[in-house]
Amino acid sequence: MTHSLVGSGRKEQGVVIEEGWPGYDLELFNYPEHYRGDIDSVLIPHGVIMNRIECLARDILEEIGHHTLMVLCVLKGGYKFCADLVDSIKAQSHSTNSKLTTRVEFIRLKSYLNDHSTEDLHIIGPEDLSMLKGKAIVDTGKTMKALLQHVEMFQPKAVKVAGLLVKRVPNGPGTLPDYVGFVIPNRFVVGYALDYNEYFRDLNHICVISETGKLKYKV
């Protein structure tokens, strides 16, 4: 395995999955039979995801746990991450007798067609519907930047970003989210609510899609 932590101090900036890591053999895990041949490997097992989310929840509580939290969940790919993160924050706050109030709102972004980013980023959020023109690639951080500009319109007291995955890509974002789960190679991954044309959301693990899978579910 070629995993490491990056960051300074106790609060790490993500578990780094190095280039060349092929992932785990599929035969070591249970996954839906109808996806046999459509995925190459398990990049991050579900148990590892959940453990990492517990660490992120701990860091969030330590830094901003004394405030009322308004959580903005980015649909559709972020719904599992958001639900599990909020559940972990609540569970840990109860165990420490912290009085924490949380609210959850939802916003939807869509910028991918097949495995490529499109030119338009659609943002659908509470009390607002808009379309932002321009190249919008999640992996380069441009989508995150556009979303933050959108959120600032509502004048929040403070904004923190939690991201389960950050891809290493050429000309990637200079600034990482405030809370990072994993830093991964530039590979198209599915599962744990991440999709390819609405398929693979039902996978519990984060997996690497195969070329066969891309062709099978291409639109």
Which of 118, 53, 51 minimizes the C-alpha distance to 81? Answer: 53
Q: CA 97, CA 84: separation in Å to the nearest integer?
A: 20
Residues 6 or more apart whose CB falls under 8 angstroms from that of 105 comprise 70, 71, 72, 73, 125, 126
CB atoms within 10 A of CB 130: 11
The H-assigned helical ranges of 22-141 are 46-64, 79-95
Q: CA 118, CA 116: separation in Å to the nearest integer?
A: 6
CB atoms within 10 A of CB 40: 17
Assess whether 40 carries a catalytic annotation: no
Catalytic residue (one of 59, 87, 120, 139): 139
* 188: amino acid identity, one letter: F
Write out the catalytic residue numbers.
139
